[in-house]
Chains A and B, each alone.
Chain A
Amino acid sequence: MADPQGQAQEKQVILPLQVLYCGVCSLPVEYCEFGPRFTKCKEWLEKNHPDLYPKYYSEEALQAKLGTLSLEAQSKLEKESAKKEAKADAKADAAQKKKLVLQVTIKRIERNKRKFVTSIHGLEVFDVDLKKAAKLFAQRFATGASVTKNAAGIDEIVVQGDVSQEVFDMIAEANESGGEGGGKGKKGLDVLRGVVVDNIELVEEKKKKG
Chain B
Amino acid sequence: MFKKFSASGDISGQTPVKSSVQRSIRTSLLSQWAVDIDTLESFWPKKESITHVKCRDHIAIYTLQGEPLFFQHFDGPFYPTLKLLHKYPFLLPRVGIDRGAIRFLLAGAHMMCPGLTSKGGYLPSADAAIPEGAPVAIFAEGKEHACGIGITKMDTEQIKKINKDIGVESVTYLGDDLWAIQKL
Give A contacts to B, CB under 8 Å: 7-8, 11-12, 15-19, 25-28, 30-31, 34-35, 64-65, 67-69, 73, 77, 80, 155
Q: In chain B between 141 and 184, which residues have their CB closer than 8 angstroms to a CB of chain A?
A: 141-145, 147, 174-175, 179-180
Check B98 for interface membership: any CB of A closer than 8 A: yes
Contacts of A73 in B (CB 8 A): 100
Q: Are B175 and A27 in contact (CB under 8 A)?
A: yes
Interface size class of B (residues with CB under 8 A): 20 to 34
26 sample A-B contacts, Cβ–Cβ < 8 Å, listed by A number: A8-B38, A11-B38, A11-B39, A12-B38, A15-B39, A16-B42, A16-B87, A17-B86, A18-B87, A19-B86, A26-B179, A27-B174, A27-B175, A28-B86, A28-B143, A28-B144, A30-B144, A31-B106, A31-B145, A35-B175, A67-B120, A67-B142, A68-B118, A69-B99, A73-B100, A155-B8
- Interface contacts (Cβ under 8 Å), in number, total 72
Closest residue on chain B to residue A28 by CB atoms: B145
Contacts of A16 in B (CB 8 A): 42-43, 87-88
Closest residue on chain B to residue A10 by CB atoms: B38
Given contacts A17-B89, A19-B87, A25-B175, contact A30 B42 (CB under 8 A): no
**Min distance, Cβ A172 to any Cβ of chain B, angstroms:** 28
Contacts of B145 in A (CB 8 A): 19, 28, 30-31
Binary contact track B33-48/A, C-beta < 8 Å → 1, others 0: 0001011001100000
Give CA–CA (A12, B88) in the complex, Å.
Answer: 11
Give B contacts to A, CB under 8 Å: 8, 36, 38-39, 42-43, 86-89, 98-100, 102-103, 106, 118-120, 141-145, 147, 174-175, 179-180
Q: Are B88 and A68 in contact (CB under 8 A)?
A: no
Give CA–CA (A26, B176) in the complex, Å.
Answer: 11
Give CA–CA (A16, B83) in the complex, Å.
Answer: 11
Q: Are A34 and B88 in contact (CB under 8 A)?
A: no
**Min distance, Cβ B104 to any Cβ of chain A, angstroms:** 10
Contacts of A15 in B (CB 8 A): 39, 42, 87-88
Contacts of B42 in A (CB 8 A): 12, 15-16
Closest residue on chain B to residue A7 by CB atoms: B38
Closest residue on chain B to residue A64 by CB atoms: B142
Q: Contacts A27-B179, A28-B86, A67-B142 given; 18 further ones with Cβ under 8 A?
A: A12-B38, A16-B42, A17-B86, A25-B175, A26-B180, A27-B175, A28-B143, A31-B143, A31-B175, A34-B102, A34-B106, A65-B142, A67-B98, A67-B99, A67-B141, A68-B141, A69-B100, A155-B8
**Min distance, Cβ B7 to any Cβ of chain A, angstroms:** 12
Contacts of A31 in B (CB 8 A): 102, 106, 143, 145, 147, 174-175
**Min distance, Cβ B81 to any Cβ of chain A, angstroms:** 13
Give CA–CA (A52, B15) in the complex, Å.
Answer: 42
**Min distance, Cβ B58 to any Cβ of chain A, angstroms:** 23
Q: Which of B103, B120, B174 contacts A68 (CB 8 A)?
A: B120
